[in-house]
Amino acid sequence: MNRTVRLYSIVDSPRLDYTLQFINDHPLFAGTQLVRTSDPSSELAYGDASMSSSLFIPVQGYFFQYVSGPWEAECHAHTWQSCTLQAVTAQSTRSDYSPDENVFPFDLFESIFFHISRFEEWYPASQNQEWDMLAESDHLLIKYGLEKIPVVDHLVKALWEFVHKKTFQSQKSTLRITHDIDHYRKFSSRWSILRKLAGFVRHRRPMRKLFPLIRSYWNAQWKNAKDPYDIYSWLLTDLPIDKTIYLFLEGQHPLDPRPPSDQELAYVISQAQQKEYAVGMHPSYADWVDSSRLEKTKKRLEKHTGTQVDQSRQHYLHFHFPKTLHALHRVGIQSDSSLGYNRHVGFRCGTGFPYRLYDFSKERSIPILEYPIAFMDSACLHEAKLQKDNFESIFNNFFQSNEQDACLTVNFHNSFFDEARMRSIAAKELYVALLTKFA
């Protein structure tokens, strides 16, 4: 049964309207709509304690009003029902209310907005950067060790319980499968082994793995065996779920891999289309703010797929607010999936559910649907410090903790499984078990 909840607010801001739209569109708020009214006696009030509504959420008056200059933010835990909620507050404006069944303890609207708008990346308070972006160590959720919790989704559930006065019935999490294809072949020529041997030494891999490396090279180059990165027969799933493959095409930067030949590109596209994958582009590291080069990459991919390409994910998740956002919009990209961590597993946006990003320069949402990444294989390996036991522990704990009430976009590279095998990590077994678990 659908329910409309009338909301009276003393705050009149496009940022509040954006947040309310996010909540109304959120799958965990399904069947309920918040509708703003001018009636102070509406059942839900967003204001101060003097208001007479039956339900009350206090106004912090900070992130909705911020324009420029230094800013501050902290996370504060609040117990709600059987859940712990995380408020994002400015120390100078913090004013906790004593919660009861009709009074919410903090401004959850501003807390949600802080995360989904990527406020801290639009207005970085730190000059500490990595890959031209705010260093992950300075992200608020990382600082507080909260990145593995979908804190925004918990707030949405709490709001649902607040207005309905009953316990939310949990549901199985949704899995969205994605793959970045950076390296089409491990051994692109008979001279590739020299580069691989140099990498073997540089990455300090155990000597017992040297013979398997040489053997795989020999088989691929001289025995017509499949290249170790050609694992599409089992990597690409038949499951009828949301799934996208992002293809690297054009190299413009030292951090870019070797561009594929037309034959290599056509082969992977054919494999993906047979399994009914959507095909998106994976632009060069250098293309993050260059719409002309993005357009060139998009057109080349469309020529090969025979269809319009409107999905994208940045190489190295190289994303600038607002330059990348605007560049993608100019070339007709309708969905992006770049907002995840390079060095951690978790929810960079506080949620894994898709939503439209906010454009502070225009104070409105932009018509690009973001699919935040929750798990990336290389990020897990980095967090695990390249250790097998650490990797498997992080992997298992994360997915066990988020079995319910989450949307999990995961990214597995075709090249990762060979790397994992060299480190004795059972990545294929973990991946197949994950598909089975959420099927």
Check: CB of residue 36 under 8 Å from CB of residue 84: no
- Give the pLDDT confidence of 374-413 residue by residue, as tens digits: 999 999 999 999 999 999 999 999 999 999 999 999 999 9
10 Å CB burial of residue 318 (0-12, 13-18, 19+) is buried
Q: Report if residue 217 sits inside a domain.
A: no
pLDDT value of residue 136: 95
pLDDT value of residue 176: 98
- Give the pLDDT confidence of 324-340 residue by residue, as tens digits: 999 999 999 999 999 99
Q: Is the pLDDT of residue 194 over 80?
A: no
What is the distance of C-alpha 363 from the center of its chain? 22
Q: Is the pLDDT of residue 138 over 70?
A: yes
Same domain, 8 and 46: yes
Same domain, 179 and 129: no
Same domain, 145 and 179: no
Single-letter amino acid code for the residue at 209: K
Q: Report if residue 412 sits inside a domain.
A: yes
Same domain, 149 and 260: no
Same domain, 181 and 101: no
pLDDT value of residue 101: 82
Q: Which domain holds residue 424?
A: 174-185+229-438
Local confidence band at 222 (pLDDT 50, 70, 90 cut-offs): low
Instruction: Provide mean pLDDT across the span 186-198.
Output: 66
Same domain, 320 and 353: yes
Q: Is the pLDDT of residue 211 over 80?
A: no
Check: CB of residue 359 under 8 Å from CB of residue 345: no
Distance from first CA to last CA of the chain, Å, rounded?
28
Same domain, 117 and 252: no
pLDDT value of residue 278: 98
How far apart are alpha carbons 354 and 336 in whole angstroms?
Answer: 10
Number of other residues whose CB lies within 10 A of the CB of residue 381: 24
Local confidence band at 439 (pLDDT 50, 70, 90 cut-offs): confident
- The structure tokens listed for 342 are 């390079």
Indicate yes or no: pTM above 0.85.
yes
How far apart are alpha carbons 378 and 423 in whole angstroms?
Answer: 13
Q: Report if residue 357 sits inside a domain.
A: yes
CATH number of the domain to which 426 belongs: 3.20.20.370
CA 341 to each of CA 139, 346, 358: distance values in angstroms, whole numbers, following the listed order: 10, 7, 19
Number of other residues whose CB lies within 10 A of the CB of residue 97: 15
Local confidence band at 157 (pLDDT 50, 70, 90 cut-offs): very high
Same domain, 127 and 251: no
- Give the pLDDT confidence of 310-323 residue by residue, as tens digits: 999 999 999 999 99
Give the whole-number percent of the chain exceeding pLDDT 70. 88
